[in-house]
Amino acid sequence: MISAGEFRNGITFDMDGQVLQVVEFQHVKPGKGAAFVRTKLRNVITGAVTERTFNPTEKFPPAYVERREMEYLYCDGELYHFMDVETYEQLPLNAEKLTDSFKFVKENMIVKVLSYKGSVFGVEPPNFVDLEVTEAEPGVKGDTATNVMKPAIVETGAEVKVPLFINIGDRIRIDTRTGEYLERAKD
């Protein structure tokens, strides 16, 4: 059992038949009255985010989310196909099981397929990916103002804001959790 006082970011637990993951938590000790835990919780099946406060002594059973490494193979228009890297078993998934960060995943990339009690509910891409820029406006010589960004399209079709010095053909590193440009990729 997990008590609310032990909550940390990323912990999953079962509450009222729902599998919830702690997105944010804050232990609050007011000057007057009992302490409590303020949380932001995400339902891992539906993706809904709710805020709730708990008594630190409340206990919940842990929920074990299975994360299997799989290779993204291809999309046939409506289904996305993944292959288990150990058993070579293939798994087709609908687009609604994919998160917004999946737009940074290209074919043959290793991802984590998330399931709870055998039911797949999501796909987690790597935190950082290196992709090639396929479309970008050319930078203007002498235009070196700090923190000025321009839109660029990467090889997966996703749009990313990049600095002015990035050109077509450059490989860049992207944080898939935020969709932000980090740096030029080191080959």
Instruction: Specify the CATH number for the domain of residue 42.
Output: 2.30.30.30
CATH number at residue 152: 2.40.50.140
* pLDDT score of 140: 64
108 Cβ contact list (under 8 Å, min separation 6): 71, 72, 73
Q: Answer yes or no: do 15 and 36 share one domain.
A: yes
Which of 34, 60, 86 is the endpoint of a domain? 60
Please indicate, yes or no, whether the overall pTM of this predicted structure exceeds 0.75.
Answer: no
* Mean pLDDT in order along the chain per 10 residues (187 residues): 85 86 87 89 82 90 87 89 90 82 88 84 86 84 69 91 88 88 83
Domain that holds residue 25: 2-60
Q: Answer yes or no: do 117 and 144 share one domain.
A: no
Q: Answer yes or no: do 71 and 52 share one domain.
A: no
* pLDDT score of 152: 92
Buried b (16+ CB within 10 A) or exposed e, 103-123: bbbeeeeebebbebeeebbbb
Q: Answer yes or no: do 111 and 133 share one domain.
A: no
Q: Output the CA torsion sign for 111, 117, 81, 100.
A: negative
Q: How many domains does the chain have?
A: 3
* pLDDT score of 28: 87
Query: What span, in angstroms and rounded, lies between the C-alpha atoms of 63 and 48?
Result: 17
